[in-house]
Structure 1
Amino acid sequence: MRRTFSTSLLAASLLCFAGTSAMAQQSVAFPETVFGEEAPIAGEQYAAAIDQVSYYDSCGMSCGDVAMGCGDCCMEAPHDCLWSRSQLTGDWHGHRSCLADCGITVNGAFTQFYQGPASGGNEQVFRYGDKFDVWVNMDMGKMGLCEGGTLTMHAVDWQLGQNAIVDATGLAPVNTAMLLPKVGEPTFATTSVQYTQALGGGYMITAGRINMLDLWATFYPEYGLGLDGFMNTSMILPLNVIPSLPLVTNGAGIIKAGERGVERALLVFESQSSPTTVGMDFPNGVTIVGAVRKYTDFFCQPGSHTLIGVYATGDYTSYDTSGWIVVPGSGVTPASKQGTWVAGYLGQQQLWSDQCNPARKVSMFGYIGFSDPDNSPYQFTTSLSVEKFGPFACRPNDRAGIGYFYNGLNSDFQNTVSLVTPIGDIYGGEVYYNAEITPWFHLTTDLQVIHPAVNANDTAVVLGLRGKLAF
């Protein structure tokens, strides 16, 4: 039986906060990437301000010493005003920096969404929802516990309100962030508690409770989570991983990282999704994921190419109705097939960068994925997008993007669902503009145009607003 989290653990999670999954020992950064490009820049600016401030008082302790017991020594840097700080709550009178010096990084975000189909789709209705996320990253070496160890947690993953995923078209989710912890209902969970230990030579082992969107952000920090860039899941990652790879599950594996990020990975996961429970009972086998990534520098611009393969050993519903059993008076019993697979390619290429400000750049991202035709809704999926970070010189922390996706459905899946209503392939595009109102608050306008799966529905024109507050 699966065990539910205790009330005490939930309370502890609220106090702990959380940082995105990180492998700091191998230059694989998680916490900063959650907040887009502006966080590292703001961090450097703040560090420069810190250098001009003395953190000593009459007790003779430094800020690092304060974190170990002298709570009155740290003071807010004089240059950290409300409208220029990178996070709303600032440096907590120096204590946030003290914690970071001691190996504990805390970040949080409160993101609000107002989104819905203006026309077409399943239903024309706008819905309001929000996400409250807190991440923590603990560097065990700096904490004096275990050199090369890192504990990362997505300790608060709290979904409130409603979303427009089903209103638009469910097979191309229009709001990635609202997929977790559960779609369609207010949910609180701790979706990631992951320990990583560096072994040397760039290799590391990792194990624990894993949030797949956080894990995805280790490979592509600019594209994951749906809090800063594109909102539609089809623009961020291949949906072919359904049903083999759960969004929240337990797993372990080995990863090879280099100076530019993850290079190789072999991971094994529990095949069931456990967003609000501990899991650990392996009711349907395991999922094995392997990935190899090659970094390039075409025309002196960085890029990467990734091959990924997934195989799940469990039993999954077969959409080939010839094997289904019809029981008079009791309905239909679908057939099942053991094992399912996914294979895909992902490419990322920077097209341009500002020589005076490398954070201003144009980047292209695309993928194509194929899956088992017997038990996956998707036969193949593909996407291509272009984003500009700092679209205007006077707006260096804004970002904008435009992209197209195509989700081809398996013929057996189409035939099965068409017994109820005729369906076809899903394709569409998205364009967004993310504007920095203050360094800690960004407002995104988003437009998605999607040809829905249900043939009877008109093309969905989905409008959305997203406000993200980093605290």
Structure 2
Amino acid sequence: AHAQSSFIDSFLTRPTMTGNWNGGRTKLEDAGLTFKGFYDGNFADAFSGGKRQGNGYAQQLGFGVNLDMGKLFGLQGGTLHIAFNQRQGRSVSSDFIGNRLAVQEVYGAGETLRLTELSYEQNFDHGVVNTKVGFAPMGNDFGEIEDGCDFQNVGFCAHAQNLPASSGWSDYPTGKWGGRIKITPVPSLYLETGVYDVNPGYYEKNNGLKISMSGSTGALIPVEAGYKMTLGGLPGEYKVGAYYDTSDAASVTNSSDMQSGRYGFYAIGHQMLVNFGTPKRGLVAIAMVSYSDPTTALFQGSVLGGLIAQGPFASRPNDFIDLGYVRAILNKRAVDAKEAASNGTLTNLSTGEGVLEFGYGFRATPWLTIHPNMQYVMDPGTFSYTHIPNAWVFGLQVKAVL
């Protein structure tokens, strides 16, 4: 009984679900091999509105290893990243609601085993200059909305969705060949840029392990600047970024009219508004606006705002309460063209889909978070040019650090 109690206590208090592997995990880290893993499951029940009522479950398993090249081979400041992802499940947004911003953020990218990352990262001058080259999702390094994945809807987690929808931008778990350089002249400021392959073939379900550059259509060049500051003694971070994609793309109103190149930009803010007594506890505001080339982008922009109470109660310092709104903007040129071509059968079409989400994140153990939430989807038929009733969705997100 004592041994069983000790195991349960250890299981519920250790930082990862699988523990220290009888000391093996620490020994491997000391030798230069750090293993990472996580599980993320999303249940969603569309119980009112939408195309019809129904529910489904989607999940992803991520696993990989970071190799410290200094410990292993004497190459100080170098790290080799290797990571895979497996997704499975059913899309409640596609099957029951009919909206664009998926109510399960882990659904997408082909529901297959994917090589997510095979890249080499190197620090120079004690981290003032950091480079990464190889195969990786560029969204790992650009355009991230900090704390966005405290929400279950993909519109918050953790990039503006018009960026990958309207260009060759790629987010996790889809990798691309490329590289970037990041300069941090002072701890509060960084500047970065890179070059990445644009290759639609990587998104196909049967290409989860594709690493060749066959099918490339061009290159995407992102730039980003970030600045950390304090307002009233409270920490915040602000980012601005832009990209240019050299690929040819069809006009949003005429598919036979090919345009040379496309662009976009974004701005992101993360600011603590109130402190609850310790550095990690407080009320945090997040905000984002993004814009894609109006000539070629059907999904032209996103606007987001949210509040996250981190550690809302002294007795629950690792829990959170989230409330946010995100809007996906459909290109008005496409809407006007669709209405004109319908000969009066399509009228008063929406130019934006909105999602309101509210939830509570319960940190059951150091490695397990349970996040029930409610989502209200407004104008879910926007991107299909139809009128679909607004939908209520109950969500339940489970995250585990393995």
User: Structure 1, residues 377-403: CA drift from partner, whole Å, max 9, x if none?
Assistant: 233321111111112111112112101
Q: Within 5 A, what are the aligned runs for 1:282-293?
A: 283-293=216-226
User: Residue in 1 aligned with 2:3?
Assistant: none
Q: Within 5 A, what are the aligned runs for 1:152-167?
A: 152-155=81-84, 157-166=85-94, 167=96
User: Residue in 2 aligned with 1:243?
Assistant: 166
Instruction: Say whether the 8 Å CA contact 2:58–2:88 is kept in structure 1.
Output: yes
Q: Which moves more between the two structures, 394-403 or 79-88?
A: 79-88
Instruction: Say whether the 8 Å CA contact 1:417–1:423 is kept in structure 2.
Output: no
Distance 1:113 1:234, change over 3 A: closer
Instruction: Say whether the 8 Å CA contact 1:351–1:362 is kept in structure 2.
Output: yes
User: Residue in 2 aligned with 1:337?
Assistant: 259
The amino acid of 1:178's aligned partner reads Y
Corresponding residue to 2:63 among 130, 134, 145: 134
Give the SS at the match of 1:142: helix
Q: Within 5 A, what are the aligned runs for 1:264-303?
A: 264-273=191-200, 274-275=202-203, 276=208, 277-281=210-214, 283-303=216-236
Distance 1:283 1:417, change over 3 A: farther
The amino acid of 1:456's aligned partner reads H
The amino acid of 1:87's aligned partner reads T
| Structure 1: gaps of 5 or more residues | 1-76, 325-333
Separation in 2, partners of 1:120, 1:216: 36
User: Residue in 1 aligned with 2:117?
Assistant: 192
Instruction: Say whether the 8 Å CA contact 1:158–1:188 is kept in structure 2.
Output: yes
Distance 1:139 1:287, change over 3 A: same
The amino acid of 1:469's aligned partner reads A
Corresponding residue to 1:81 among 4, 7, 10: 10
- Percent identity of paired positions between Structure 1 and Structure 2: 23
How much has 1:213 moved relative to structure 2? Answer: 4.7
The amino acid of 1:467's aligned partner reads V
Separation in 1, partners of 2:271, 2:146: 14
Distance 1:114 1:377, change over 3 A: same
Separation in 2, partners of 1:348, 1:264: 17
Distance 1:349 1:141, change over 3 A: same
The amino acid of 2:396's aligned partner reads L
How much has 1:192 moved relative to structure 2? Answer: 1.3
Number of aligned residue pairs: 373
Instruction: Say whether the 8 Å CA contact 2:275–2:282 is kept in structure 1.
Output: yes
User: Residue in 2 aligned with 1:121?
Assistant: 50
Instruction: Say whether the 8 Å CA contact 1:255–1:262 is kept in structure 2.
Output: no
Aligned: 1:347 with 2:269 = yes
User: Structure 1, residues 299-335: CA drift from partner, whole Å, max 9, x if none?
Assistant: 11111221100110101121123xx5xxxxxxxxx32
Corresponding residue to 1:448 among 362, 375, 390: 375
User: Residue in 2 aligned with 1:146?
Assistant: 75
Q: Within 5 A, what are the aligned runs for 1:57-456?
A: 81-155=10-84, 157-166=85-94, 167-179=96-108, 181-182=109-110, 186-200=111-125, 202-215=128-141, 219-220=144-145, 222-223=147-148, 226=149, 229-235=150-156, 236-241=158-163, 242-244=165-167, 245-247=169-171, 248=174, 249-257=176-184, 263-273=190-200, 274-275=202-203, 276=208, 277-281=210-214, 283-321=216-254, 334-355=256-277, 357-416=278-337, 422-451=349-378, 452=380, 453=382, 454-456=385-387
Q: Which moves more between the two structures, 254-263 or 199-208?
A: 254-263
Separation in 2, partners of 1:413, 1:213: 27
Give the SS at the match of 2:107: helix
User: Structure 1, residues 128-179: CA drift from partner, whole Å, max 9, x if none?
Assistant: 2221111322221122341111112322x00122122313344222222222
Distance 1:96 1:257, change over 3 A: farther
Instruction: Say whether the 8 Å CA contact 1:352–1:363 is kept in structure 2.
Output: yes
Instruction: Say whether the 8 Å CA contact 2:328–2:354 is kept in structure 1.
Output: yes
Separation in 1, partners of 2:250, 2:48: 34
How much has 1:455 moved relative to structure 2? Answer: 4.3
Distance 1:80 1:260, change over 3 A: farther
TM-score normalised by L of structure 1 = 0.73
Instruction: Say whether the 8 Å CA contact 2:104–2:152 is kept in structure 1.
Output: yes
Distance 1:169 1:416, change over 3 A: farther
| Cα RMSD (Å) | 2.5
Task: Tell me which protein shows more strand as a share of its residues.
Answer: 2
Instruction: Say whether the 8 Å CA contact 1:319–1:416 is kept in structure 2.
Output: no
Instruction: Say whether the 8 Å CA contact 2:42–2:152 is kept in structure 1.
Output: no
